[in-house]
Structure 1
Amino acid sequence: MDSLAAAYKQSQRVVDDAFDVSASAHAHLYFCFGAHRLRLGVLDTERNKFVALEDYESNRPVSVDGAIQYLRSLTEHSPILQQRQWQTVRIAIKSQQFTLIPETLFEVNAREEYLQLNAELDLATELVHQYAHPRLELINVFTVPTKLQAWAEGHFETTEVEFVHQTSSLMEGFLHMAERNPRPQLYVYVDKNYVTLVVLQDTRLEFCNSFYFTSQEDFIYYILFVLQEKKMNPDQDHVFVWGELMVHSELFDVLRKYIRHVQLGKKPTGVGYSYRFDALFEHRNFDMYSLHFCE
């Protein structure tokens, strides 16, 4: 456990001066879970405002089981996780274990078959879940690690725990931010070695997928490929970017090299943020903030 704890560091922590963690029964806990990153956000329901955020990031590869093990130990140190009663606990799963099914074709008893078309399903270690997107008229079918669900339901025993996939959070967030446009719009979310690409046209989903990359060439290839497939023009169409990249990073440089109009995204509107969040980059934590729109 010592070596596992050493793999993680707290990369961000912001807390509103007026935040009282003991009042968690009147707050939502939003939680993004991935093997390399654990992020917690608290929204005060009475003020409709984000009031706290804790971010833990691994500096080396960690397995899903290792991340869950670290999460258990984190309950001894995180004031947020020490609270077990919340109005809502909503957890986003970061993985490539998901598939999108049109609402009219979806059958709940076929969820495993849907997933097996796009992912390797291990029912010994994973549980199948679904999340409905009424405005997009589709169902996101995804998996949750069995050990994570067992921990969450045991730890937050008086609160129902909701699970969604990270792509659902992003799609709902992008849909919330999008302006009606007859032209397709490409939204990019960059994570560590993963890039999620979502194309919306008006309120229709035209594309959504998450790609693993290990080089700048892979990264820009996927983006240019989607632009080409959706008949978008890298010299004319705007591309909106959120996530874990910086303006002076190599990834941002390669974006600007091949795409003329690259725009860093903002925090979602329709919800407030403590002034303490002003110290954070606007384009980061979008997946966590957007869990608020996954009603």
Structure 2
Amino acid sequence: MVKENNHYRQVVKITDESFDPQQLHAYNLYISYGRDRVRVGVVDTDRNKFISLEDYQVSHIYTPLQGAQVFNEVFSGHPYVFSPDWHQIKLAVNNHNFTFIPDTLFEADAAADYLSLNCDFDADHEKIFTYKHTSIEAVNIFSADKYLTQIWERQLPGKELKYLHLTCPLIASLLHYGERTSEKRLYAYVQNKSLCLLIMQEGKLEFCNLFQCSTPEDFLYFFVLVMQEQKLNPEHDRVTLWGDLEHDSALFTLLRSYIRNVQFGSRPPDVSYSYKIEDLFQHHYLDVFGMHFC
């Protein structure tokens, strides 16, 4: 059983009866890692089914080193997270250090230069990763704290780990839904203190950015700002939401007062979910479920 401390609190733990700790070689492990939230999902690859989901709230984390140390402390006691037996492990980091480059222009040796144009990249404390979005012909360049990557290198030496950025599963999910329209469509992923806004048109990514937010009014400001800049009409254009908000939340109520056609999204299709996961809201955990399509 995972212990709790003054930094981490488990808020969701779902395990399907079919989960077998002796069969990890047939399972994929997906982890979404952020300063205020860590989520763990498990997929049975033989049945193409999510069979486990855990969600942890994180607080009082002020530095990347502290966050990595607490992550290591908590999950070192987990019965299987640091097991070498997984079929595949994917970890998505949630930070603002990312950018996109058309794959025709991308040069691997220049990845640090591309990223430095968009954010304050610290080569001493961060490691660069890339992910190619084949469907949109773009490369996502991002960084992860070396403190975090070193934990995995120590815990699972020699085990290949696929790093992603939070935006990778979000984009992969939107592409997987297969919604193609000549109209611009705005999609949003809402978290406790951040907002990811994406715009798709004709199956192509037109806009993607993360914004830091503290109040419902902050979230609304960025919704309105991006809609204005992208020439979207709050009276007519549809906005689809995923993430950590509820139907009766102050933010959703505020959004509906300014955006007429706002709705919650659903889970990605073409993968099944334990009946215990089916009981959760459809728009929750896209950061974890979307990793299945990366």
TM above 0.5, yes or no, is yes
SS where residue 246 of structure 1 aligns? coil
Counterpart CA distance in 2 for 1:198 and 1:110 is 26
- 1:181-205 Cα distance to aligned partner (Å, 9 max, x none): 1101111000121000000002111
Kindly indicate whether the alpha-carbon contact (under 8 Å) linking 2:61 and 2:67 is maintained by their aligned counterparts in 1: no
Counterpart mapping for 1:7-26 below 5 A: 7-26=7-26
Counterpart CA distance in 1 for 2:189 and 2:75 is 29
Counterpart CA distance in 1 for 2:156 and 2:268 is 27
Partner of 2:74: 74
Partner of 1:172: 172
Counterpart mapping for 1:273-288 below 5 A: 273-288=273-288
| Residues 53 and 62 (structure 1), Cα distance of their counterparts in 2 relative to 1, 3 Å cut | farther
Tell me which amino acid in the other structure corresponds to 2:219: F
Kindly indicate whether the alpha-carbon contact (under 8 Å) linking 1:51 and 1:273 is maintained by their aligned counterparts in 2: yes
Partner of 1:230: 230
SS where residue 256 of structure 1 aligns? helix
SS where residue 105 of structure 1 aligns? coil
Can you give the 5+ residue segments of structure 2 that lack an aligned partner in the other structure?
Answer: none
Kindly indicate whether the alpha-carbon contact (under 8 Å) linking 1:13 and 1:53 is maintained by their aligned counterparts in 2: yes
Kindly indicate whether the alpha-carbon contact (under 8 Å) linking 1:94 and 1:166 is maintained by their aligned counterparts in 2: yes
SS where residue 6 of structure 1 aligns? coil
Can you give the 5+ residue segments of structure 1 that lack an aligned partner in the other structure?
Answer: none
Q: CA deviation at 1:90?
A: 0.4
Q: CA deviation at 1:136?
A: 0.6
Kindly indicate whether the alpha-carbon contact (under 8 Å) linking 1:35 and 1:66 is maintained by their aligned counterparts in 2: no
| Residues 62 and 284 (structure 1), Cα distance of their counterparts in 2 relative to 1, 3 Å cut | farther
Kindly indicate whether the alpha-carbon contact (under 8 Å) linking 1:16 and 1:276 is maintained by their aligned counterparts in 2: yes
- Identity score, percent: 36
SS where residue 25 of structure 2 aligns? helix
Counterpart mapping for 1:1-295 below 5 A: 5-157=5-157, 159-294=159-294
Counterpart CA distance in 1 for 2:83 and 2:279 is 25
Kindly indicate whether the alpha-carbon contact (under 8 Å) linking 2:127 and 2:143 is maintained by their aligned counterparts in 1: yes
Kindly indicate whether the alpha-carbon contact (under 8 Å) linking 1:21 and 1:83 is maintained by their aligned counterparts in 2: no
TM-score by length of 2: 0.95
Kindly indicate whether the alpha-carbon contact (under 8 Å) linking 1:28 and 1:88 is maintained by their aligned counterparts in 2: yes
- 1:188-234 Cα distance to aligned partner (Å, 9 max, x none): 00012100000000211110000001122221111111112222111
Counterpart CA distance in 1 for 2:169 and 2:62 is 23
Structure 1, 49-58 or 220-229: larger mean CA deviation: 220-229
SS where residue 237 of structure 1 aligns? coil
Counterpart CA distance in 1 for 2:107 and 2:250 is 44
SS where residue 104 of structure 1 aligns? coil
Matched residue count:
291
Counterpart CA distance in 2 for 1:103 and 1:223 is 29
Kindly indicate whether the alpha-carbon contact (under 8 Å) linking 1:30 and 1:41 is maintained by their aligned counterparts in 2: yes
Kindly indicate whether the alpha-carbon contact (under 8 Å) linking 2:7 and 2:58 is maintained by their aligned counterparts in 1: yes
Structure 1, 228-237 or 179-188: larger mean CA deviation: 228-237
Tell me which amino acid in the other structure corresponds to 2:262: V
Kindly indicate whether the alpha-carbon contact (under 8 Å) linking 2:82 and 2:155 is maintained by their aligned counterparts in 1: no
TM-score by length of 1: 0.95
Counterpart CA distance in 2 for 1:168 and 1:109 is 21
Counterpart CA distance in 2 for 1:60 and 1:253 is 29
CA RMSD of aligned residues (A): 1.4
Counterpart CA distance in 1 for 2:191 and 2:210 is 10
SS where residue 18 of structure 2 aligns? coil
SS where residue 135 of structure 1 aligns? helix
SS where residue 227 of structure 1 aligns? helix
Runs (4+) off by over 4 Å: none
